[in-house]
Structure 1
């Protein structure tokens, strides 16, 4: 192991320890504060305030105290991404870890603090203090901590993906051949979550139809939209032919978008992960869009207009080689 590798391992360890320490600190606060003031809080306690600032909703103390579980779930997913591969060695990826951890942690602590303060020493949740400017302070503070998290992700190594200039060699096409390359990628976990959301939508719809509160229709609509969007974003198919480069979405391969081969400049492969681009699905950065279905090797095409599109599909090297061969034949 060379000196550079030793430094990378040491930095990755420090980064994971620092982010893990923040996660533990936030979890400890979220657990300790409600328990510390439990005897001075009503049960249930006010947890929602209307536009006038007066309390109009409540929650049992036991449920309120479980906010720490939400944080553990979120932090666990983010730290899992940080621990994967060489994510911690890429600056952009680190920032997509430290900024959300800072923002969400500060927001949960702020919301908990204002809720406890408003309910403190009140006999009933209806007697809780009104809230107004406190909500603005919590939101501003959360964004400030998130900004500090963004800055905290800057120091350290910045390992770049495979350079754009290292495109695979173009295939040698024989006269009269009409080559076609087709590849796809899917996320079984994402599809499973989408199906669960659709099942929840159906369940809420049935309950509302049978006479339970009509507000359940709103929840059913939200889950249905989330489920359908999830199914649409969890699979993709890419086709390269002498005529066009075509990207199709979802299990029905619709919608579909085609770009004439003449509209492409070149293609290559890159290692990209959700933490690099801000998550799963269609992610956009100025001039650098990515359709992220699963982390790993991605096919990247550059348009003649200058924009780039990365797609996480299998056998990306072969697809890039065919695109380069077809592009060179058009020029």
Structure 2
């Protein structure tokens, strides 16, 4: 573990890394805040006062706010979130030694910033040149702009925060356990874990989206397709990544997602170097779900013991799963067997 001013693995001090992150975060926060204030002011003469700020399922605006209040609420909410994230970064110097922590905070700032910008763009466009807030235009499929901004901004923010050290236990320092197997003996390890709240949330959103789609078909309300599409697009990944099932055999690792075990991912045994366990929390990896990028990914369903797979290429995959220690031990045994077998290179 390096000290606060020690050189990291990539030659950047922890203090310097934190200062760089804080500078970029402050610049991004200021840029988004300026855009949230400047855009409405530039279009002030073409907007009604009050302006429409909420649309019902039918696509008709059903609530409004005074122009000034709307501007202050959007800019204020973003500023509050950005200041909170900046404060966490300022106080938590140690967190910058973990790549996943930096990426999580970067994803929060990037995703929230583009979300607020997309939300404002959709709101201003709908209100533009409307004689009255109640006659503002439908949001249309442009409502997906905010959701797209959230996803894209989160991805870009994580990428921007990725460079730098990743202070984690070296695999060579972690005990490697194995399960004794007789020659020719076959073994399989299967385990699964799920999150009830995530499954309920995803299922509820999908059910609501399906219900609105049915109403749109029966009643001919075309505007209902917009909230139906949004709820389905959000609910599907939430339901899919609310549970995970892992199977380890001589062929490698198979990961199944969701109640229908789809999609699935296969990792050949030849790609695995070794396996071990680590105690990980959502706060340390950037939240729940599938976090990180290929080569440094974590599947976080619940905090606690995780199965960590080290690739021959140097990357790693962590999975929060029950009975992880036994799974790691069997995987190490099967890796040894594959490396010394007749097909080993």
Q: 1:313 aligns with which of 317, 321, 324?
A: 321
Q: 2:306 aligns with which of 298, 306, 313?
A: 298
Q: CA deviation at 1:324?
A: 1.0
Residue 64 (structure 2) pairs with residue 60 (structure 1): yes
Distance 1:108 1:187 in 2: 29
- The equivalent of 1:163 in structure 2 is 170
Q: Where do residues 234-245 of structure 1 align in structure 2 (5 Å cutoff)?
A: 234-245=242-253
Q: CA deviation at 1:238?
A: 0.9
- The equivalent of 1:45 in structure 2 is 51
Q: TM-score, normalised by structure 2?
A: 0.59
Residue 241 (structure 2) pairs with residue 233 (structure 1): yes
Q: CA deviation at 1:235?
A: 0.7
Distance 1:99 1:246 in 2: 28
- The equivalent of 1:54 in structure 2 is none
Q: TM-score, normalised by structure 1?
A: 0.61
Unaligned ranges ≥5, structure 1: 6-17, 34-39, 49-56, 128-142
Distance 1:275 1:227 in 2: 23
> What is the DSSP-based 3-state SS (H/G/I as helix, E as strand, rest coil) of the residue aligned with 1:318?
helix
Is this contact kept in 2: 1:44–1:59, CA < 8 A? no
Q: CA deviation at 1:212?
A: 5.5
Q: CA deviation at 1:316?
A: 2.0
> What is the DSSP-based 3-state SS (H/G/I as helix, E as strand, rest coil) of the residue aligned with 1:326?
helix
Residue 262 (structure 2) pairs with residue 254 (structure 1): yes
- The equivalent of 2:215 in structure 1 is 207
Change (3 A) 1:271 1:29: farther
Distance 2:259 2:88 in 1: 27
> What is the DSSP-based 3-state SS (H/G/I as helix, E as strand, rest coil) of the residue aligned with 1:323?
helix
> What is the DSSP-based 3-state SS (H/G/I as helix, E as strand, rest coil) of the residue aligned with 2:309?
strand
